[in-house]
Amino acid sequence: MVESLLSVSGINLFGHTVIDLQLVNPLLAPIVAQVASARNIPTLSDNKNVNGVNVVNANLVVVWKQKISDQNEIYTVNGAGPAVAWTKGDTATGAIIRVAGGNRYVGYFMKLEEGFEFLGRRPGAGNRAGPNRFLEDQLLGGRFARIYGFSFEGNYYDLGRPILFLVHGDGELVAEELGKFSPARSPSPTGLTGFAAADFEFSDGLRVWSYDKADYTIRMDVETGMFEDVLLAAMFGGGPGGGPGGMDAAGMSARGMSARGMSARGMSARGMSARGMSARGGNGD
């Protein structure tokens, strides 16, 4: 199998897609309006020019600067000639509207429970400059996957517990070759796994996603349990004298060394014990 010079520096994530956590991106199909108001409009009819745009029949106008909040909505221009009526719409909360023209406020709006919010010229990112849109592009066709382990620089590392990561597409079956599914085996092709040999076997149906170590992602840690464990204990602590705002509440006990630090995700889970000195380090050699 052919590899590149940078293959060893890549990161391969191994896991399964999560079917009950889907990404919904309203930016894929926004409502398209011709113009948005730049000031209060006293009379919402017979207006033929809005924010520098001559509106015509069937045009949509985002009215969001009214002094009377109930008048803020998307209006449809009806009619032509001397009498032009505007029909008030009923836009769903959370809807995304793309405004195509005008002297100001050309870009994206979001419908709030009361009124609108101007998001900027690029969806969800204001007017941020720069060509790097890795996460934005990933959200267009991405999904979350539960990752059990990863490979890097020729070694495989088990995670202390599965973690949700934002990934591209469906991934590839680790035990798939030439389009024919076969039982899990060890090792799989290096182009999929990133390492040449292994002392374990992958589960059937396990998928892999490949990334560069400099890529951006979204990680989600999911806690399950009783409210008193995942909410109250994390906020208020469990020891004597524990209270909101102190070290017990949100410091070392709840989210520090014990819960997410050295024990859970530090030396034990990912370090010396799991895949460190014991498995692949001094004792193993």
Rounded Cα distance, 255 and 249, in Å: 9
Give mean pLDDT, residues 27-43: 89
In the chain, pLDDT over 90 holds for what percent of residues? 27
Reading the block at residue 175, the tokens are 């035990």
167 and 102 within one domain: no
- DSSP reduced 3-state for 186: coil
Domain assignment of residue 201, given as a range = 7-24+135-220
pLDDT tens column, 217-262 = 889 988 888 999 888 888 887 544 444 444 443 344 333 343 444 4
Query: Sorting pLDDT into bands at 50, 70 and 90, what band is 148?
Result: very high
**Section 190-216 average pLDDT:** 74
What is d(CA 37, CA 14) in angstroms, rounded to the nearest whole number?
50
pLDDT tens across 95-145, in order? 999 999 999 999 899 999 889 999 887 554 444 444 566 676 666 667 899
**Across-strand partners of 17?**
145
The reported pLDDT for the residue numbered 174 is 81
Of 120, 152, 170, which residue is a domain's last? 120
In degrees, rounded to 5, the angle at the alpha carbon of residue 55 between the alpha carbons of residues 40 and 35 is 55
Same domain for 168 and 46? Answer: no
Across 1-99, where does the E strand assignment appear? 10-17, 31-33, 35-36, 49-50, 53-54, 60-63, 73-78, 85-88, 96-99
Q: How many domains does the chain have?
A: 3
Gap between the Cα atoms of 209 and 174, Å rounded: 10
Predicted local confidence at residue 94, as pLDDT: 87
Does residue 156 belong to any structural domain of this protein? Answer: yes
Q: What is the pLDDT of residues 59-92, one digit of tens each?
A: 999 999 999 999 999 999 987 666 778 899 999 9
> Are 110 and 182 within one domain?
no
- Whether 2 is in a domain gets the answer no
CA–CA distance, 257 with 264 (Å, rounded to integer): 8
Whose tokens are 């890097």? That residue is: 152
Classify residue 194 as exposed, middle or buried by CB count within 10 Å of its CB (0-12, 13-18, 19+).
buried
Q: What is the CA radius of gyration of the chain?
A: 27
In a domain, 126, yes or no: no
CB 79 within 8 A of CB 85: yes
DSSP one-letter code for 180:
E
Residue matched to tokens 């202390």: 160
Residue 243 lies in a domain: yes
Residues 6+ apart with CB under 8 A from 283: 277
Residue 39 lies in a domain: yes
The pTM assigned to this predicted structure is 0.54
Q: Which residues pair with 202 in a beta bridge?
A: none
pLDDT of residue 98: 92
pLDDT for 131 equals: 57
Q: Using an 8 Å Cβ cutoff, are 32 and 60 in contact? A: yes
pLDDT at position 247 = 41
Closest CA to 118 of 135, 103, 106, 134: 106
- Contacting residues for 68 by C-beta, under 8 A, at least 6 apart: none
pLDDT at 143: 86
Question: Measuring CA to CA, which residue among 195, 199, 141, 202 is closest to residue 171?
Answer: 141
Q: What is the mean pLDDT of the chain?
A: 74
39 with 103, same domain: the answer is yes
| DSSP conformation class of 220 | E
